[in-house]
Amino acid sequence: MTSDDTVRPGRPRSIETLAELTPEQTDAVLALLTEAARNDGQHAVSEQGRLQLRGPAREGVAHLLLTVGDGELVGYAQLEGTDPVEPPAAELVVHPSHRGQGHGRALGSALLAASGKRLRIWAHGGHSAARHLAQVLGLSLFRELRQMRRPLAGLELPEPRLPEGVSVRTFVPGRDDAAWLAVNAAAFAHHPEQGSLTQRDLDDRKAEPWFDPAGFFLAERDGELIGFHWTKVHAEEGLGEVYVLGIRPDTQGGGLGKALTTIGLRHLEGQGLPTAMLYVD
């Protein structure tokens, strides 16, 4: 599906909506995202969104490519309508050299139309242009994600105190996939963005350069997985992350979350990272 209007004389604008990108289109979008992140100091599309650029079509996910002239890609948006309760969610970005020409508004309007005017847009970094676009589209702020940080260098973390009968080991790719997906779904049943992860989503993350099973801790009791702490290292930024921490609901309240947090932070400290961070609502 395409829509067209005019940016300036001789520079027609086109928006194409696709269920699946070709490898060439994926590379072009990734290059656009890289340029935007370099300019803005923040990724405009989340990790999940970037992972969803690759491979076969995913149910409920659409890609919007905005091109000008003879097909130059200057804008991208992704629309995901997989949440059974909330409206479809979107992310969008315009190349830094092509901003101020109405491309963001064009993408936003296309997203509104594609979503039946039931739309959530994630705006990363709180840029003024994103706030202005939200006003133009008639959107209002209803959820805010914050990043918390704490120093690791020189920090004396206590020995973790595990609940009775609980042992901790690291993740074994392939062998632990199904059990982890089940516990993750249970722990985040109230959080569809995390709790709905599939085997494909897990495989995507395992294929990323940052994936390290040595930083993926599993807590077991009587051979059953009851909790986990998956850490992540952002090498370029020198940051460790409490990536995902989950406890099976029927085993919560015994101090396992605190123990797993400590284990993960000690691991990140051992990697020589000066700082750890966590995203929270």
Each residue's pLDDT tens digit, 247-264: 999 999 999 999 999 999
Share of the chain above pLDDT 70, in %: 96
CA 220 vs CA 179, 249, 253: distances in Å: 11, 14, 15
Maximum separation of any 2 CA atoms in the chain, in Å: 72
Domain boundaries, the chain: 2-143, 147-280
Fold classification of 147-280 is Aminopeptidase (3.40.630)
Superfamily of domain 2-143: Gcn5-related N-acetyltransferase (GNAT) (3.40.630.30)
Residues 86 and 192: beta-carbon distance below 8 Å: yes
What is the percent of the chain with per-residue pLDDT over 90, rounded to a whole number? 77
The pLDDT value recorded for residue 163 is 96
- 4-52 pLDDT, tens per residue? 444 555 579 999 999 999 999 999 999 999 999 999 988 999 999 999 9
Domains 2-143 and 147-280 share a fold: yes
Give the number of C-alpha atoms closer than 13 A to the C-alpha of residue 42, restricted to the C-beta side.
12
Average pLDDT over residues 79-94: 90
